[in-house]
Structure 1
Amino acid sequence: MTLDDIDSRIIRVLTTDGRASYGTIGAEVNLSAPAVKRRVDRLRARGVIAGFTVRVDPGATGWDTEAYVELFCNRRTSGEEILRRAQTYPEVVEAFTVTGDADALLHVFASDMHHFERVLSEISAEPFVARTRSVLVLSPLLRREFLTM
């Protein structure tokens, strides 16, 4: 779906404040509240807006340790198997199959280094994991919730 400038601006407002009223959005994009609602409904129906959620700061909840863990898997390990096991760890917030040397990449949060070490040890012990390589995040410099349109 091709987005026009108004759709892109509506998405930017919602990305900044998912609780913004249609009237508030309309004031930003020069449309009436009913016109904004129709556009948001259309964007939702077409799957451009997949849903609304709450964004939680992991550090504010005490999960200050962040890492990316590359998984090097045994042969014949499917993405579905990696996903099935990754979902059992609340510390894993994202999981991807990737190109390059690794087979998958996990985004992990933990409360401290001991917690991270325990989770990494458990992930490494999964039967399909041959080895792992971790990168700890020192300081997140940029996080975007949407693509620049």
Structure 2
Amino acid sequence: MDDIDEAIIRCVLRDARATYAEIGKEAGLSPSAAKRRLDRLVATGAIRGFSALVDPQAMAWHTEAFVEIYCKGNPTPAELTKALNDIPEVIEACTVSGAADAMLYMLARDIPHLEKAIQRVRSTAPVDRTESAIVLSRLLTRPRL
């Protein structure tokens, strides 16, 4: 990975729909060279995919919860990621130290919606049980560095 690759990655992180011309301008390449470099970054796995970031507020999802998951056996982080990937209410997922295997941050429209989403989490192969804490109010939110 060189400075050009890093410039390409910065550009698509900022806007996954950037054109090859925009990526090339950012990285100092022609559009066709930018396409070749981007394709190589995807082929090597440096870029694993592209996605849309949807504002949960636009969808009127206001119910937040932190959910600990406890797994059967010893699934790998990749297995957990695969199991949770198709549950859009899971906004973040992390493996953690302590008794739980992972911690989820979930967002839903309301309590019934959250309950259905947690049930989908529970029904995934590696999950044995969950423990949930619903957010009542946000005290402090800082931007990520």
Query: Taking structure 1 as the reference length, what is the TM-score of the superposition?
Result: 0.68
Distance change (3 Å), C-alpha of 1:22 and 1:99: same
Paired-residue identity, %? 41
Matches of 1:52 and 1:125 in 2, distance apart?
Answer: 27
Q: What's the counterpart of residue 69 of structure 2? A: 71
Shift of 1:94: 4.7
Q: Which has the larger radius of gyration?
A: 1
Q: What's the counterpart of residue 98 of structure 2? A: 100
Matches of 2:26 and 2:14 in 1, distance apart?
Answer: 12
CA contact (8 A) 2:64 2:105 kept: yes
Q: What's the counterpart of residue 142 of structure 1? A: 143
Matches of 2:122 and 2:98 in 1, distance apart?
Answer: 22
**Runs (5+) with no aligned partner, structure 2:** none
Shift of 1:100: 1.7
Matches of 2:4 and 2:120 in 1, distance apart?
Answer: 45
- Structure 2 counterpart of 1:32, which letter? S
Counterpart of 1:79 in 2: which secondary structure?
A: coil
Counterpart of 2:42 in 1: which secondary structure?
A: helix
Question: How many equivalent pairs are there?
Answer: 138
Compute the RMSD of aligned alpha carbons: 3.5
Shift of 1:79: 3.1
Matches of 2:11 and 2:82 in 1, distance apart?
Answer: 34
**Runs (5+) with no aligned partner, structure 1:** 145-149
Q: What's the counterpart of residue 17 of structure 1? A: 15
Distance change (3 Å), C-alpha of 1:60 and 1:143: farther
